[in-house]
Amino acid sequence: MIEIIAYVLLGIGTACAIIGAIGILRFPDVYNRIHANTVVVVGGAIFLVLGAGILGGISAFTVKAVVIALFLFLTSPVSSHAIARAAHKSGIKLWPKSVADKLEEEKR
Amino acid sequence: MSSARLPATFLCLWATWMILTTSLDPQELVVGAVVSAFIAVVSYEFLFHGGMRQKLHPKRLAYAMAYPFAYTWAEIKAHAKVIYYILHPRMPIKPGIVRVPTELRSDFGITGLANAITMTPGTLSVDVVGEEPSLYVHWINVDTTEPDQTNMKIARPFERFLRGIFG
């Protein structure tokens, strides 16, 4: 039973990672690509870590896997945020079809 | 209270170390104590503000217990939406940066909100500005740029819980 759950988690994680990778290639600019990157990290990495953690049965290893997932969860938004902020500060334009940029208006 | 903050931080860290190593070997305990002491000295000033009674208020604990579930649900919905945009042949996205005002005032609360928004695919906080803070959020499908509406759609699912937890 626990193995089936583990394989389902691993399957969801793999699917999210593949779809996210396609998204990174398809989306038009840096900000949209970070959205696809979030799908890879949250859906992909965390599900894979949890799946690997319970594959061999519940043990101390599972606790460590949960902690790793938690730290991925706490640290990855910081890097996404830093990349987005640096991109906007250094003047990287949004995709031409974007509908609004309130931050640019605020700066003027 | 403030005199107990350093030992409290140290004990929390050491207990976590023991749970993670799952051994009571003296060597492990000594290394754990040294590492915990170092981290506690560096970081205790940022932790354990306010009294214990306020910290362990039942309402606050209830919000903290309910938050992961509400968060997971929001996360699943957002994933489904962004996966739909990725796989759709014409990619029907309307990206843009909008202003999202927030009622939160504490540093932890605003950090938590910005991280929650970034961790949800489809919204990405780019900057935090102002005395009464506003988040500038890159949104993959801009429905509205009205500040009230954006707050309703982007921040509201997390804001209620974060205000209960961090004030």
In a domain, residue A41? The reply is yes
Number of helices and strands in chain A (H, E): 5, 1
Please list every residue in chain B whose beta carbon sits closer than 8 Å to the beta carbon of residue A38. Answer: 82, 118-121, 124
- Tell which phi-psi region holds residue A19, choosing left (phi > 0), alpha (psi between -120 and 50) or beta: alpha
- Cα distances from A80 to residues A32, B7, B49, B80, in angstroms, run 11, 34, 29, 20
Q: What is the pLDDT of residue B1?
A: 47
In a domain, residue A107? The reply is no
Collapsed DSSP state (helix, strand, coil) of residue B97: strand
Asked whether the predicted pLDDT for residue B143 surpasses 90, the reply is: no
Q: What is the pLDDT of residue B48?
A: 66
What letter represents residue A6's amino acid?
A
Q: In terms of CA atoms, which chain B residue is nearest residue A70?
A: B68
In a domain, residue A98? The reply is no
How far apart are the CA of A26 and the nearest CA of chain B, in angstroms? Answer: 7
Backbone angles phi, psi at B98, to 5 degrees: -120, 160
Mutation target among A34, A103, A104, A107 for the B interface, most CBs of B within 10 A = A103
Interface check B5 vs A, CB under 8 A = no
In a domain, residue A100? The reply is no
Q: Is the sign of the CA dihedral A76, A82, A85, A90 positive or negative?
A: negative
Interface check A93 vs B, CB under 8 A = no
Q: CA A78, CA B114: separation in Å to the nearest integer?
A: 9
How is chain B split into domains, by residue range? 2-52, 57-166
B48-52, B71-75, B113-117, B157-161, range with the lowest pLDDT: B48-52
Please list every residue in chain B whose beta carbon sits closer than 8 Å to the beta carbon of residue A97. Answer: 94-95
Collapsed DSSP state (helix, strand, coil) of residue B24: coil
Q: What is the pLDDT of residue B107?
A: 81
* ipTM (interface pTM): 0.83
Asked whether the predicted pLDDT for residue B122 surpasses 90, the reply is: no
Q: What is the pLDDT of residue B49?
A: 66
What is the share, in percent, of chain B residues with pLDDT greater than 70? 93
In a domain, residue A10? The reply is yes
- Cα distances from A68 to residues A74, A108, B136, in angstroms, run 10, 42, 29
What letter represents residue B9's amino acid?
T
In a domain, residue A13? The reply is yes
Q: Which of B119, B140, B137, B141 is nearest to B127 (CA)?
A: B137
In a domain, residue A40? The reply is yes
Q: What's the pLDDT band for B3 if we cut at 50, 70, 90? A: low
Asked whether the predicted pLDDT for residue B2 surpasses 70, the reply is: no
Q: What is the mean pLDDT of chain B?
A: 84
Q: Which structural domain, as residue segments, surrounds residue A35?
A: 2-93
Q: CA A31, CA A104: separation in Å to the nearest integer?
A: 14
Q: Which of B48-52, B119-123, B148-152 has the highest mean pLDDT?
A: B119-123
Residue-by-residue pLDDT tens, chain A, 108 positions: 888 999 999 999 999 999 999 989 988 888 888 888 888 888 888 889 989 988 877 887 888 888 888 888 888 888 888 998 898 888 888 887 777 777 777 766
Q: Which of A40, A54, A64, A49 is nearest to B82 (CA)?
A: A40
Look at chain A and report how many structural domains it folds into: 1
Q: Which of A44, A51, A42, A26 is nearest to B84 (CA)?
A: A26
Sheet with B134-139, edge to edge strand ranges = A100-101, B96-101, B134-139, B123-129
Q: Which of A31, A69, A34, A77 is nearest to A50 (CA)?
A: A69
Q: What is the pLDDT of residue B36?
A: 92
In a domain, residue A53? The reply is yes
